[in-house]
Amino acid sequence: MSFRPCDGQLPAGLNPARLLRHDYQSAIEAATQCLAKDEADALVSSEHTGVLMTLLHRHSLVHPALERPALVSWIPTSKQPVLMLDLGASFAASAEQLLGFAAAGLAIASDRSSRKPRLALLNLGVEANKGPPALHLAAERLGSWPDVDFRGFAEASTIFRGDYDLIITDGFTGNAVIKSAEGTVDLLLSALKQQLGGDLLGKLMGWVLGKRLQPLLNQLDPRASNGALLAGTGLTVIKSHGHADELAFKAAIARAVEATEGGWSQRVLRRLDPLLAD
């Protein structure tokens, strides 16, 4: 292990666009440069998503089939985890961008399963006439992809049932979904603690329930699934939550190891290349 000293730091409230014109000699700039020069295998950072993406654009590391990389991660369900993107790297998405997200997600999902991934587009409802035109155009195209089990539209309330392998949406919606889910889990746990109370009986029941529910609590703990891949760069860049503690950051590092060993970023690039010819 080696360390590289960095004398500068990014100013508070910096507009990420300024990074295209000025080098602040910060740690995140040095880390991105190491990655671009193949001096590192992966980058794990809690830095602002906009800063990370701007630095990747500075080094021309974003695939031309995507205007912006997509944040990709697994979220827990009642069955197996489901891969979801985008989780916050974009605000809106055209049909072409949604197809790019789907291609990136398929490249990663196929690393964990040999069957055709069950893919759905997140929408207001499952009816064919629901949602904006971009979703309908993307759905029409995805229906003809031979290596995907396209399930049409999915509502946000159904994605946690474990009936899908891959959920595609724009970054604004995806980020709202996962943060709402985290808030719901916090609400339920807080309500449970209040109901148990602080008396002796409550403490005893809490101890018994804690033992029985610990596997479920571990599954629902957002720290365990911390770390989203910025897909579409050809490099392993993992975005950690800004408020990550030791357990959460450990999960992000583990995600970086899995992504590097699985060659996820390279698989994504190969999957995106054919989209340029369409």
Q: Domain boundaries in the chain?
A: 72-176+264-278
The answer to whether 258 and 238 have CB atoms below 8 angstroms apart is no
Q: Shortest CA distance to 219 belongs to which of 87, 83, 76? A: 76
Q: Are strands 166-168 and 118-122 parallel, antiparallel or unpaired?
A: parallel
Tokens found for residue 126: 């499952």
- Domain 72-176+264-278 is in which class? alpha beta
Is 89:70 a contact under the CB 8 Å cutoff?
A: yes
> Residue 166 is which amino acid?
L
User: Using DSSP, how many helices (H) and how many strands (E) does the chain show?
Assistant: 8, 8
User: Is residue 139 helix, strand or coil?
Assistant: helix
Here the tokens at position 121 are 């587009």
Sign, CA torsion 26/44/249/271 = positive
pTM for this prediction = 0.86
Per the listing, tokens 């998405």 go with 93
Give the model's pLDDT for residue 57: 76
Contact 74, 264 (CB under 8 A): no
Amino acid at 117: P
CA distances from 37 to 26, 30, 41, 91, 242 (A): 17, 11, 10, 30, 26
Given its phi and psi angles, is residue 270 left (phi above 0), alpha (psi -120 to 50 degrees) or beta?
alpha
In angstroms, rounded to a whole number, what is the distance separating the alpha carbons of residues 18 and 51? 10
In order, the DSSP letters of 8-34 are --PPTT--GGGGGT-----HHHHHHHH
Please give the pLDDT value at position 97.
Answer: 92
Q: Enter the tokens of residue 150.
A: 């396209």
pLDDT at 1: 67
pLDDT (tens, 9 = 90+) of the chain, 278 residues, equals 677 777 777 777 777 767 667 776 778 888 888 888 888 899 998 888 888 888 877 777 788 888 788 999 998 888 888 999 989 988 888 999 999 999 999 999 887 777 889 999 999 988 888 889 999 999 999 999 998 999 999 999 899 998 999 999 999 999 999 889 888 888 887 887 777 777 777 777 777 777 777 777 777 788 888 899 999 888 899 999 878 888 989 999 999 999 999 999 889 988 888 887 66
